Amino acid sequence: MQHLNFPSTYTFDIREVEGKRDILDPLRRKYVRLTPEEWVRQNLVQYLIVDLGYPRGLTSIEKGIDLHGKPFRADVIVHDRHGQAVLMAECKEPSVRISQDTFDQIAVYNRVVQARYLLVSNGLDHYCYAIDRDKEEYRFLDRVPRYEEL
C-alpha cells in the first residue's frame, strides 16, 4: 500500500483471501477489505492512539449516524470519558484531493455528532480545526491536538 504522511510506521495484520486483501481492524475486531480509504483510516486511527494518546476504548470507526432519517457512517469518532464526541474524522483515499466538498460533508455529519474538533485526511494532507459554538466560528489548527489537549 501507498506510503502515507504520518510520523510513525505502524504494524498491521493484512491477509489475502480469494485474491483480495483484508486488514484487521483492531477496534472493530474483524478483518475488513483493504481499500485505499481503509488504509488511510487504519493509519489515522493508529496515529491518534499511538502518537497522540487517544484512548482505544473511546474511539470508534464507521459509526452509524442518522441525519434527517438517512443513515450515514462517520469514519472516526473519539469521545471523552463522559461519552461526548470530541473529535470526528473524515478519511478519503490518497488519490482524492481534499476539497470544500469534503469539509462540507464532515460539517453536515457534525450537525448530529457535535464534536468540538474535526479532522479531514487523505493520508497525505491532514486538516484539523476547532469549533467554537458560542462564537459560531472555527479555526484551523497547525497540528492535530493530543487527546489531553482536547
Judged against a pLDDT cut of 90, whether residue 86 lies above it is answered with yes
> Mean pLDDT score of the chain, rounded to an integer?
94
Judged against a pLDDT cut of 90, whether residue 67 lies above it is answered with no
Residue 46, helix vs strand vs coil? helix
What is the percent of the chain with per-residue pLDDT over 70, rounded to a whole number?
100
Domains of the chain: 14-149 (3.90.1570.30)
Average pLDDT over residues 87-116: 95
| Under 8 Å between Cβ of 95 and 4 | no
